[in-house]
Structure 1
Amino acid sequence: MPDTVMVMKKRYTYRLYPTADQQQLLARSFGCARVVFNDFVAERNRLYAAGLHQQVPFGDTEKLVTTVAKRADGARPYLAQVSSVILQQSVRDAQQGFRNFFNSATGRRKGPKVRPPRFKSRRQHRQRIRLTRHGFRLHHQTHQKNGKLYVAKIGHISIRMSRPLPAEPSSVTVTQYADGFYEASFVVEVEPRSAPKPKHQAAGIDLGITDLAIIATDTGEARKVANPRHLQRAQRKLAQLQRSLSRKQKGSTNRTTARKKVARQHRTVANARKDYHHKVARQLVDETQALAVEDLNITGMVKNRKLAKHITDVGWGQLMQLLHDKATEAGRTLITIDRWHPSSQLCSACGCQDGKKPLHIRQWACPCCHALHDRDINAARNIMIAAGLAEITNGCGGNIRPHPGVAAPTKQQPTEHLTLTRA
C-alpha cells in the first residue's frame, strides 16, 4: 500500500482594500450575520428554558432563522440581500458554540469549562463573516502582488497578495477591525514542512518577563531571548492618543477618527509582537528536535494587578501556540510539563530541593552539591529533565532522577561545575 501523506490545515492572511460601496455592502453582511447568530442563540435559549431543546434539532432552528425569516412575508426580509452562505456559516458558528458548551458540561470536552454562546453586539469594533467555496472565488495575478477576491453579492475586492497560496482555499474569513483595517484569511490544506537538520536534540524553555524565553539545550548551552516590551515602548504614544480621544465629544466624527488612531496604534503593537514571536518560534523549532515547555496558568496570573500588564505585553500564550503549530508542521516534538513542577526550586545538578525563593534572587548555590545556578537557566534545565529529555548525572550508583529534597551520592573528588553562559 502506498504511504499516506499527512495533510494539515494552514491559514494565510492578506490585506483587503474594498471601495466605499463595497464597505457598505460588507457592513450589511456583517450586520445580517450578527442578526442571524443572535436569533439562533435566542431561539435555542427559549427551547432550553422550555425543556424542548432535545426534541427540536439544530436544522429546524436554522431553517427558522434563515430560510423562513428572509422570505418576503418573513420577520427579516432584508436577509435576502446578502449571500446565503454567510448566513449559513454564522449559524454553524452558533451551533458549534452550543456543542462545545454541552460537551464541556457533560465532561466530553476536556479543559476549562465553556460558557454557552452569547449575543453579539453591533458596538463590537471587530466584525467578521465566513464563506465556503460556494461563496467566494480568488483571482490572483502571478506577475503582480495585487489580486481580486470575489465575494457573493459584494463583488471583486482588491487584495494584496504578498505570497501565492500553496493550494486552493477551502474557506475564507473576512474581518474588519476597529481601525478600519480589512483582511481576508484563507484556510488551505498543505503537506508538512521539511525542517532542516536540528543543531540540538533537546532543549528546555522557561518563559519569563525580564527575558521572553530562557533556552537550555542538551549540550549544556544556554541563552536568553530578550523581551522587546512592545506595549511599554509604545505607551507614551498611546497615552497621547488616548488623552486626545477623551477630549472628543461622544458621537462626533472627530471622536470616531481619534478612536481609529488609538486602535491603529494598538494594531501596530500587536503586529510587532506577533512578528517577533513568529521569528523566535521558527528559530527554536528549526534548531531543536524536541522541545519542553512549562504549562502556565496565564488566566490566573493576569489577575495579579502588579504584573498583569507585563504578562499581557510579553504574550506567552501566543508564543506557546506558535511553538505548537510550527512543531507539528515540522514534525518536531513539543512536550508540556505540569505547571506545578517546582522547576525554580530544584538543583539541576543533583536534584536537591531547598524551597521557594523570592523573585529578586537571580542566582543561588545548591546547599547539597554547592553548584552555582542562574535561576532562569536552572529552571529551563529542570523543565528539560522533567520532560524526560535529559538526566541528572549520577555518582557512585546514585539515582539518575533523585527524589526532590534528597541529594544523590557524590564521588569523593572535586566536582567540575557547569559554567553558566548568557547569550
Structure 2
Amino acid sequence: MLKGYKYRLHPTPAQAEFLIKTIGCVRFIYNKLLEDRIAIREEAKAGNGARRKPPTPASYKPLFPFLAEADSLALANAKLNLDTAFAKFFAGTGGFPAFKSRRRSRASYTTNNQHGTIRIENGKVKLPKIGFVKFEQHRPFEGIIKSATVSMTRTGKFFISILVNQDEEKWIPAKNKVGIDLGLEHFAVMTNDAMVSEKIDNPRLLRKSEAKVKKAQRALSRKMAGSRNREKARLILAKRHEKIANQRKDFLHKLSRRIVDENQVIVVETLKSKDMMQNHKVAKSIADVSWYEFVRQLEYKSNFYGRTLIKADPWFASTQICSSCGVKGEKKAMDVREWTCTHCDAYHDRDINASINLLMLAD
C-alpha cells in the first residue's frame, strides 16, 4: 500500500536557492516539452514530412546548460507528468495540457528514491543533489520510500511529501452506519443507524477573515509594481489566504477522520459545486465550504481503513422524499427549512430528513 506523509522542510539559504532553481527548471522543461509536442502535432496536421519523435529532457541540456544543475529525475518526472496529462486528454477525462505559470501554478518537483538517494537520518532527510535537509518529522512511518515531492508555498515555506510503500494496515471494523447531508447553513447534518442526528456548524472561515483579506488586497493594489513595498504587501495577502486554507484543511481532516473512525458504512451526498457556483449569490460560500475536498478525504480514508463509502447520485431527491412514508412531495424552495408531509402528516427538519434518506441507501 502506498501512503504519503507530508512534513515541513527547513532548508539553509543555499539549499532553499537550489530548491527554487530546481522547481524553476522542472517548470521550464514541462513548458518546453509541451511547446514541442504542440509543434509536432501542428506539423503532423499540415503533413510536413515524417512526424518527429517527442524530445526528452536530456535533449535540452546542450541548449540550456543550467538544466545540468537540477536533479535529472525531477526533470524526467516532469515529462511523465506531461505524458499523463496527454493520456487523460486523449481518453476524454481531462482537458488539453496547459503551460505552467510561475505565479499561478503549484511550485513543486518530484524525485525518486534510487538505492537510498532519499533517506532519513538524525532528524534530516537526504535529497538528490542537495544532501541532508532539516525537517519536522512529527509522525514516524515504516516502509520503503518510493519518491518525494518538494513544494513551496506562496509565502516561501517548503514542504516535502514522502511516498512510502508499506504493509496494509490492520483496521478495526466499526458497527455504525451514517448518512451525511451537506449544506451551507450547516456544513453537514449526520444521522446514524440509531437515528441520532448531529448538525456540524459551517465554520465560514473565509467570511470570518474577509475584512482582513480585503484590507490586504487594497494595500497591495496601492503599491507600485516591482517595488519592495509591493512584495511585502503581496506576502501579507498570501499569508492571509494561507491561514484560511490551513484552517479549512484542519477542519476537514479532523471531521473526515472522525467519521471514518466511527462508521463502517458512510453515505454522503454528492453535489455539483461547479454548476451551483454559477449562482453568484452563493458562489463565494460554496467555494469556502469545500464539499469536493471533504468527499475526496472521506474516499481515500475509507479505502485506507476498510470502510465502505457510498456516493449518492446527484439527482437523488433526498430533500424532497418523506423519510417516514417514502412519498416524494413537491419541490421545495431553499428557504423552506421545515415541512410537513401531505401524505402521512410527518413533520420534518429539511436537513435531518435528507440525512435519514441518505442513510437508507446504506441498506
User: One fold, TM greater than 0.5?
Assistant: yes
Identify the residue that residue 236 of structure 1 maps to in structure 2: 211
* Residue 152 of structure 1, CA deviation: 2.3
Unaligned runs of 5+ in 2: none
* 67, 70, 75: which one aligns with 2:61: 70
Aligned residue number for residue 4 of structure 1:
none
User: Is 1:351 aligned to residue 339 of structure 2?
Assistant: no
Q: Are the counterparts in 1 of residues 2 and 164 from structure 2 also a CA contact under 8 Å?
A: yes
Q: 1:274 to 1:343 in 2, by over 3 A?
A: same
Q: How does 1:272-283 map to 2 (within 5 A)?
A: 272-283=247-258
- The question of whether the paired residues in 1 share the 8 Å contact of 2:268 and 2:311 is answered with yes
How far is the alpha carbon of 1:56 from its aligned partner? 5.9
Match of 2:277 among 290, 302, 307: 302
Identity %: 35
| Residue number in structure 2 paired with 1:154 | 130
SS class of match (1:382): helix
After superposition, the C-alpha distances for 1:268-296 in whole angstroms (9 at most, x for unaligned) are: 11111111111111111111111111221
* Counterpart AA for 1:34: R
Alpha carbons 2:108, 2:151 under 8 Å: kept: yes
Q: Which runs of 5+ in 1 are unaligned?
A: 1-7, 105-112, 142-146, 391-423
Q: What's the counterpart of residue 88 of structure 1? A: 76
> Which is further off, 364-373 or 252-261?
252-261
Say yes or no: does 1:172 pair with 2:172: no
Q: Is the 8 A contact 2:143 2:167 kept in 1?
A: no
1:157-209, Cα deviation, whole Å (9 max, x unpaired): 21111111222321111111111111001111234444445252x22110011
Instruction: Provide the C-alpha distance between the structure 1 equivalents of 2:203 and 2:103, rounded to a whole number of angstroms.
Output: 33
What corresponds to 1:101 in structure 2?
89
Match of residue 119, structure 2, among 138, 142, 154: 138
Contact 1:295-1:336 within 8 A present in 2 as well: yes
SS at match of 2:54: helix
Counterpart amino acid of residue 110 in structure 2: R
1:10-409 aligned within 5 A: 10-51=3-44, 60-63=53-56, 66-71=57-62, 75-104=63-92, 113-124=93-104, 126-134=106-114, 136-141=117-122, 147-200=123-176, 202-385=177-360, 387=361, 389-390=362-363
Report how far residue 317 of structure 1 moved.
Answer: 0.9
Counterpart CA distance in 2 for 1:48 and 1:257 is 43
C-alpha RMSD of the superposition: 1.9
- 1:238-288 Cα offsets, whole Å, 9 max, x none, are 222222222221111121121112111211111111111111111111111
Instruction: Name which one, 1 or 2, has greater alpha-carbon Rg.
Output: 1
CA contact 1:296–1:339 (8 Å) conserved in 2: yes
2:70 and 2:312 map into 1 onto residues whose CA distance is: 48
The AA in structure 1 aligned to 2:101 is S
TM-score with structure 1 length normalisation?
0.81
- Contact 1:198 1:288 survives alignment (8 Å): yes
**Local SS of the residue matching 1:51:** helix
Aligned-residue offset at 1:380: 0.9
Question: Relative to structure 1, is the Cα distance of residues 378 and 192 closer, same or farther in structure 2, using a 3 angstrom cutoff?
Answer: farther
Aligned partners of 1:195 and 1:286 also within 8 Å? no
CA distance in 1, matches of 2:129, 2:164: 23
Larger CA deviation: 177-186 vs 245-254: 245-254
TM-score (norm 2): 0.93
1:395-419 Cα offsets, whole Å, 9 max, x none, are xxxxxxxxxxxxxxxxxxxxxxxxx
